[in-house]
Amino acid sequence: MKLRGERLPRACGAQPAPEGPAENCSCAALFAKAEELLAQRTAGGDPLARFLKGQLYYEEGLYEEALMQFEKIKDTDFQAMYQLGVMHYDGLGTKEDPEKGVEYMKKILDSDSPKARHLKFAAAYNLGRAYYEGCGVKQSTKEAERLWLIAADHGNPKASMKAQSTLGMLYSVSVLKDLKKAFFWHSEACGNGNLESQGALGVMYLYGHGICKNTKAALECLREAAERGNIYAQGHLVEYYYNRKFYSTAAAVAKRITENDDIDMLAKITDCLPTYVAKGVATAAFYLARCLQLGLGVQQDQAAAKTYYSKACLLDPAVASDLELAANLGRI
């Protein structure tokens, strides 16, 4: 399990695209200049400079150098302590040591220092993940729930949206299943801008899970989430178009979705769980196969249909099996 979902914000936004020789030279020169300036500030006694230097190395993937900088100030800088927690947990610049990662996160969460306050939500979220998966600590879904509730902070938009969305997922599928709670937390996360919860909320409205069925609200959520890149929402839109007999639209949307089935990359780009990205692509692949098999909205093509059926089964066997059963029963 990685803690990268709730780290400190990146200094420069998303991961940059691959660069050519000229850009590489320019970036190297900028990096050297930044390193020089931070060394001067460190020598001048600037208390923030060493952390910024460590963060510079961290963002450049120079994890061993970053680790050395953070280690020097971990007792006085909570941001450095937080980054060390992530690095030990993920094995960045050092061997994986989830117990040590958990230890750092607990220190931040339990601290009374005002300097740790802005990190507490993220630390609580990460600790919740550790307890949920039993990595670095004894597995406990109840303790994960408790920590995520702390991180979610009653829906506070400045708290962890990841925790709010994760609680929505937790109450949807776990032993703590409570669809009304799931709807509440997805609503809070969606209202705070979380893309994954926006798609989940659309599905809940569509099928009346935890709330009265509301097709208009469902389509608003699903379409906006789909436009923002939520693959799970896109897959459910394909299903909706197919069931409404808008076959050409269903096939066209499904074709676009299935053109890229690199689940991990899609999950990273959209910051959504790979499991739900796979479900979205699998759903789209199944309905595209159905259209091709029956010649609905597209020219009939049995060979292509077989290929897309296989893709759906490969990406998510459970989704493919459920849809195939529905088709055999005449529900699709």
Residue bearing the bigger pLDDT, 252 or 31: 252
pLDDT (mean) for 273-295 = 97
Distance CA 177, CA 24 (A): 50
CA–CA dist 133, 147 (Å, integer): 13
Instruction: Give the pLDDT confidence score for residue 15 in this predicted structure.
Output: 34
**pLDDT tens sequence across 121-135:** 999 999 999 999 999
Convert the pLDDT of each residue in 145-183 to its tens digit. 999 999 999 999 999 999 999 999 999 987 889 999 999
Q: How far is CA 273 from the centre of its chain?
A: 5
Q: Which tokens go with 15?
A: 């991961």
Beta carbons of 243 and 237 less than 8 angstroms apart: no
Task: List, for residues 72-129, the tens digit of each pLDDT value.
Answer: 999 999 999 999 999 999 999 999 999 999 999 999 999 999 999 999 999 999 999 9
pLDDT band at 13; cut points 50, 70, 90: very low
Tell me how long the chain is: 332
pLDDT at 25 over 80: no
pLDDT digits (tens, 9 = 90+) for 134-144: 999 999 999 99
pTM of the model: 0.84
What average pLDDT does range 199-203 have in this prediction? 97
CA count, 13 A, side-chain hemisphere, 83: 29
Domains by residue range for the chain, with CATH: 33-159 (1.25.40.10), 235-332 (no CATH)
Q: How far apart are alpha carbons 247 and 325 in whole angstroms?
A: 20
Question: CA of 161: how far to CAs of 64, 194, 236, in Å?
Answer: 30, 6, 23
